[in-house]
Amino acid sequence: MLTCMNNTELEKIMLSLGESKFRAKQLFEWFHQKKIWDYNQMTNLPKNLKDKLTTQYPTNNIKIVEKYISAIDGTRKYLFELSDYHIIESVLMKYKHGNSVCISSQVGCRMGCKFCASTIGGLKRNLTPAEMLAQVYKISEDINEKISNIVIMGTGEPLERLDITTKFIELINSDKGQNIGQRHITVSTCGLVPKILELAEKEMQITLAISLHATTDEDRKNIMPIANKYTIKQLLDACKLYINKTGRRITFEYSLIDGQNDTVDVAKQLSNLLKGMLCHVNLIPINKIETQSFKSSSEDKIKDFANILKSRGIEVTVRRTLGQDINASCGQLRYNYLKTCL
C-alpha cells in the first residue's frame, strides 16, 4: 500500500510505473501532510497517473462509523470501519498541552488480559501502518486541529508486530508529514520481553509504557496470561536495559483492582521492585467490563497507594478518568458495538 511507504519506497514504485522520481515527494505530501488519500483530489498529478494509481494501488482509507463526544470533558471516541469491514476504535483526549490521540494497533487482541475488553473476541488481524496513521489523520480532520501526541494504547499489542509499529512511527514522525516528535509518542506493551530488547536497540526517543498491574508472578499470572511466559524479573531486567540504552524514562501502568492489587503491602512491594529505576508509575482505576467482576479501588485507597509510592521516592500520577460517560476504556466501545451486531 503506497500510504505505508516512505519516500525511497515510493520512488521505486514511481520508477517501476515509468514515472519521474519527484512524483514520490508529491504523493508523500498528499498522503501525510495534506492527509488526502483520494488520488482524484491530487491536483498536481496528471490524469493518467491518477487512473493508474486508482486501479493498481487503492489506498483503502478508513471510515468513521460512529462518534461519541463526552459532555463532561470533550473526549471523543471514534469507531472506524476498515476496508474489509472490521471495526476498530480510537480516542481523542483534549489537554491543555494539546490534542492526544489513542490509537489501536490490531483488530482485537490475543493477549487475554482478564480485565480488558479488547481481547474478548481474540485477535482478528494486525493493522497496517497506514490504518494506524489513518486513525490520527481522520480525527485531526474531524476536529480540524493538529494532533500533538499519540499513545498506542488502544486495542492490540503494538510490540507483537514491532515492524508495523516502527513503520508507523517513522511515517508520523516525518518532517514531510505530520512531524510528530518521537518524544510525543507512547507505546504501551503488556511486556513482550524479546521485543522490548529489540526496541531498545533502535534507541528511539519514544516513551515506553509497561502494563505491570501486579508485584508477584503468581498475582500477575491470574490477570495477565503473558506472565506465564516472562517473569516480572525478566521484564524489569529488560526495562533496565531499555533505560540504559535509550536514556528514556519508562512508564509503568498499574490498574488498581479493589482488594486484589491495591493494598498497603502491595504498594510497598511495588516501590521495592522499582526502586532506583528511571521510571514513573501511572495508576489507573480499573474500568469494569461486564464479563468480569473486578471492581475499581475507592478514591481513598488509590490516594493511599499513590502516597506510599511517593513517600518511597517513586514518581506517580493517577490517570484522570476521561470520557466516563462514553465507554472510554480500552476496547469497550468496539465490544459493545459488535455485540449489537450479533
Q: Which of 78, 95, 212, 207 is nearest to 152 (CA)?
A: 207
Going residue by residue from 245 to 284, which x/- string records binding to ligand SAH, judged by CB under 6 A?
--------x-x----------------------------x
- 89 belongs to the binding site for ligand SAH (CB under 6 A): no
Nearest distance from C-beta of residue 216 to ligand SAH, angstroms: 17
Does 219 bind ligand SAH (CB under 6 A)? Our answer is no
- Tell me how far, at minimum, the Cβ of 257 lies from ligand SAH, in Å: 9
The burial of 96, by beta-carbon neighbours within 10 Å (0-12 exposed, 13-18 middle, 19 or more buried), is given as: exposed
Of 227, 330, 334, 335, which lies in the binding site for ligand SAH, with binding defined by CB under 6 A? 330
User: Which residues make beta-bridge pairs with 67?
Assistant: 78
Q: Indicate which residues carry an active-site annotation.
A: 89, 330
Question: Which position among 3, 188, 215, 251 is part of the footprint of ligand SAH (CB under 6 A)?
Answer: 188
Q: Is 207 in the site for ligand SAH (CB under 6 A)?
A: no
Tell me which residues in 137-156 interact with ligand SAH (CB under 6 A): 153
Distance CA 293, CA 60 (A): 39
Per DSSP, the three-state class of 68 is strand
Give which of 91, 54, 57 is closest to 76, Cα–Cα: 91
Q: Which of 11, 15, 51, 16 is nearest to 27 (CA)?
A: 11
| 101 or 116: CB nearest ligand SAH | 116
Q: Which of 70, 68, 72 is nearest to 80 (CA)?
A: 68
- Indicate the burial class of 337 (C-beta count within 10 angstroms; 0-12, 13-18, 19 or more): middle
Regarding 215 and contact with ligand SAH (CB under 6 A), the answer is: no
Cβ–Cβ under 8 Å, residues 161 and 196: no
Total binding residues toward ligand SAH, as defined by CB under 6 A: 18
Shortest Å distance, C-beta 141 to ligand SAH: 25
* Cβ 133 vs Cβ 170: under 8 Å: no
Q: Which CB atom, from 135 or from 287, has the smaller least distance to ligand SAH? A: 287
Binding region for ligand SAH (CB under 6 A) out of 4-12, 52-60, 138-146, 186-194:
186-194
Q: Which of residues 282-321 bind ligand SAH (CB under 6 A)?
A: 284, 286-287, 289
Q: Pick the binder of ligand SAH from 135, 173, 178, 211 (CB under 6 A).
A: 211
116 lines the binding site for ligand SAH (CB under 6 A) = yes
Closest CA to 206 of 163, 239, 166: 166
